[in-house]
Amino acid sequence: MKIRGWAILILALILAGTLFRVQWLVGLGIATGGVLGIAHLWRVRVLQNIVYRRSLIYTRGFPGETLPLRLSIENQKRLPVTWLRIRDSWPLNLAPEERDSLAPSHVPGRGYLTNIYHLWGYRRVVRDFRLRLGGRGVYSLGPVTLESGDPFGLGECHEEIEMPATVTVFPQLVPRSHLELFSEDPYGERGTRKRLFEDPNLTIGVRPYTPEDTFRQIHWPATARTGQLQTRVYQPISAQVMMLCVNVATSEHPWLGTLPEVLEHLIRVAASFCYYGIEDGYAVGLAVNGGLTSADQLMQIQPGRTMDHLAILLQALAGVTPLITHPFERFLVHTASHVAMGATLVILTAVINPSLIEAITLIKRYRHHLVLVALSEAPPPSLAGVKTIHYPLSSEVKGKKE
């Protein structure tokens, strides 16, 4: 019954008791009004100064690992809370080891991390969980719903808090032995790993011209100033640079849908190349023609070789979606034109078609370090000057059985 209905009932009891001189009716009306007033004021104040906190020491990890989670709820007022139910929207791939902690939800792939508390004034309760990480992805936590009511059970109140937070589950790595990398030259580089190249995009000075210099190296403004031919001096860079270009298409016709198993296989192999490349001392960059969980824009990460950079690469791969932002052939040619000279270009794809072969042939005219990693079931064609690794999904399944 609404407040107006209760008010009419209470007034009727008091008037009836007064007119007919029935004292217990008057007392009943006053007592009922007092109880309803207390219940209303209790519901108005019960959720005030309630502080809910999540404490995640680590916010990223690999599938199968566990992360510690601490939940704390504090009542920062004198008024006690007879009961408090907290429902935290939670992804199923971050479920606590105690499966009963997650209640069903109407949102696919999510549940409610539900806890019920009884809090006296100025009291705090802490609960610890272990989260077991499932499939790769970037998962959002929240929102949080607080529910409570008056001690008489006459009504309830609730409040929703956003409390945004994210947890990243990195892609599962493929064992190095399963990738069948080249033993002497794993990522397609030739000669010594300490050789230096020059980046034509980074000029650091000039020097006098020598017969070995090419026409493009001549610095014409400096030549005009000095009256003698001057040559550009470029920034030297290490040959240990690898740019990984990933095609998220899983079939010839992406508009017909995505094959989830093939996409996950593709992401696992990409993450493995990033991990083992940095482990071997390479500066690794990443370019993917697929959208991210939080954006649908083109993703390109410049090469780096630190462990922090590796975390950035793995986090980016964790959030890759099947949404194709650019056709891979044009995307590949555009990316290759912006990669430093001397770097290795690793092309990772599950779809081999004539357009891709044509794009690789075009890139091969001005790049000497190309590796094609084909995840298609059929072996890729042999291309002159291009090293090829064939690693279909069936190879991974076989490796797991062994």
**Which residue is listed with tokens 């009511």?**
149
Overall pTM surpassing 0.85 (yes/no): no
Q: Which runs of consecutive H residues, i.e. helices, occur in 140-218?
A: 176-179
Instruction: Return the SS3 of 133.
Output: coil
Predicted confidence at residue 190, as pLDDT, reads 43
Decide if domain 50-169 falls under CATH 3.30.420.40.
Answer: no
Amino acid occupying residue 250 = T
Predicted confidence at residue 125, as pLDDT, reads 96
Identify whether the C-beta of residue 76 lies closer than 8 Å to the C-beta of residue 55: no
- Token readout for 288 is 């993917």
Q: In the CATH hierarchy, which top-level class contains the domain 176-192+239-401?
A: alpha beta
For the chain, list residues with pLDDT below 50: 183-184, 189-196, 238, 401-402
Cβ burial of 360 (10 Å; 0-12, 13-18, 19+) is buried
Predicted confidence at residue 93, as pLDDT, reads 92
Question: Which candidate, 163, 155, 162, 101, places its Cα nearest to that of 127?
Answer: 101
For helices 393-401 and 260-279, what crossing angle results, to 10°?
80
Predicted confidence at residue 233, as pLDDT, reads 80
- CA 170 to chain CA mean position, Å: 8
Pairing of strands 370-374, 283-288: unpaired
Identify whether the C-beta of residue 364 lies closer than 8 Å to the C-beta of residue 349: no
Predicted confidence at residue 191, as pLDDT, reads 42
Determine the Cα–Cα distance for residues 222 and 231; give it in Å rounded to an integer.
8
